[in-house]
Structure 1
Amino acid sequence: MNHSTLSRRAFVALTASLLVTGRADASPFREITWEDLIPTGVPLGEIIGPGEIDEVNDTWNPQFDENAKKLSTSLDGKAVKLPGYIIPFDVGSEGVSSFMLVPYVGACIHTPPPPPNQLVFVTTPTPWASESLWNPVWVSGQLSAKPMSTQIADVGYQITAELIEVYEW
């Protein structure tokens, strides 16, 4: 064998090693958007109907059609990473241990709740001790397309968070 053959083999081995190492460092979570939670073929504009005012509680109650409850079952059981805002449920001295992840700030508090397929209920074994709950976060974990009802809204998805991080622009 000549010297140039060994150099090529060494280069190929090094390149393959770097590729494998790079893959090992890649996130196990697939980054998704809120639109991914709506099944293919269901337009967002057809999810929310006109709604009605609740004069007793001074709130607007949106009316959702059946499309609002349709979930993206192709994501069920998948490891995902989704950005959003926290609406806290269980808050203790160590932080928030369960919350609603919503697509925009103020959802469910200052505005009517989004449709069920745009809400994710999050639990975390390690409380999120954020200085400001108004900052956006990334939530990473296994997504479950499993509807549930809360005191705030009907929810289409659930995640047990493996990782919560501040969302940086």
Structure 2
Amino acid sequence: MIVRNVIIAVVVVTLVACGQSPGAPDAAPAASATTALASAQAKADATRAARAKAQADGIVAARAFAAAHGSPKAAAPKGAGLLGAADADGYADLDWSHMMPPEDIKLLRDAPPVLHVGNQRMKQIGTLHTVAALDNQKVKLSGYVVPLESDNDGKMIEFFFVPFYGACIHVPPPPPNMLIHVRLAHGIDTPSLYDPLTLKGVLHTEVTQNAMASSAYAMDDAALGAYKDPDTDRLRQAFE
């Protein structure tokens, strides 16, 4: 009987020992590692949040400083807003009205009516005021020629370029700041006064006065070519 009881006790002890998990002693270190990882992640998130806040605060502070002290702005190119698109050679479109300061445009609106009476030409109105930003600009514009001087071969070497035909001859001269005095390096055949042309050159603010009119702008060694209207050309080609 005693032997039987001893055997049963040994079996019970063995079963209890086998029921214990081999990994049980490592459970505490695993839990500790998970806690450390979570803590490191939390610190990283807090660091990123602090960095983002500092960056945002810096931007706000910089804007406030600029508003209080005035931040320097990039200067606009000379002539910006006055000139149109430039061609392949760098000559930009110029509107005649942009050659006059705003106060002179108002003066032109209040000008007296043109009177075609008798043979006496009406007096030129306007001023010699110019737009400084146009000085030394490569421009192109369309208008008409009023011949002034010819060379020994009868070729035109000097003329006024004007915005409408007949100016200075049949009708009053335009204001001086809507007149360009042009000098050519080589004489050309004098074109018709009624043919629209395109002038290309470097514009200068320079006063010229003669018996015919005064001008506030000038060009040297300019190029004079036939006027081309893309819209008219397309319309003509559609019916050819």
Aligned residue-pair number: 140
Q: Name which one, 1 or 2, has greater alpha-carbon Rg.
A: 2
Distance in 2, Cα, partners of 1:81 & 1:114: 18
C-alpha displacement at 1:161, in angstroms? 3.4
Distance in 2, Cα, partners of 1:80 & 1:110: 27
Pairing 1:87–2:146 present: yes
Q: Deviations over 1:80-112 (max 9, x none)?
A: 112110000112435211000000000110011
Q: Which runs of 5+ in 1 are unaligned?
A: 1-24
C-alpha displacement at 1:158, in angstroms? 0.2
CA contact (8 A) 2:199 2:224 kept: yes
Query: What TM-score, normalized by structure 2, do the two folds share?
Result: 0.52
1:55-74 to 2 correspondence within 5 Å?
Answer: 58-64=120-126, 68-74=127-133
Distance in 2, Cα, partners of 1:52 & 1:35: 19
Higher share of residues assigned helix: 2
Q: Deviations over 1:31-71 (max 9, x none)?
A: 111012112x3352413644999x9962322443xxx3211
Match of 1:155 in 2: 215
- Let me know the Cα RMSD of the aligned residues: 2.6
Distance in 2, Cα, partners of 1:164 & 1:49: 31
Distance in 1, Cα, partners of 2:88 & 2:224: 17
C-alpha displacement at 1:133, in angstroms? 3.9
Describe the shift of the 1:52–1:165 C-alpha distance in structure 2 as closer, same or farther (beyond 3 A).
closer
1:1-169 to 2 correspondence within 5 Å?
Answer: 26-39=88-101, 41-42=102-103, 44-47=105-108, 49-50=111-112, 58-64=120-126, 68-92=127-151, 93=153, 95-130=155-190, 132-169=192-229
**Greater RCO between the two (CA within 8 Å, min separation 6)?**
1
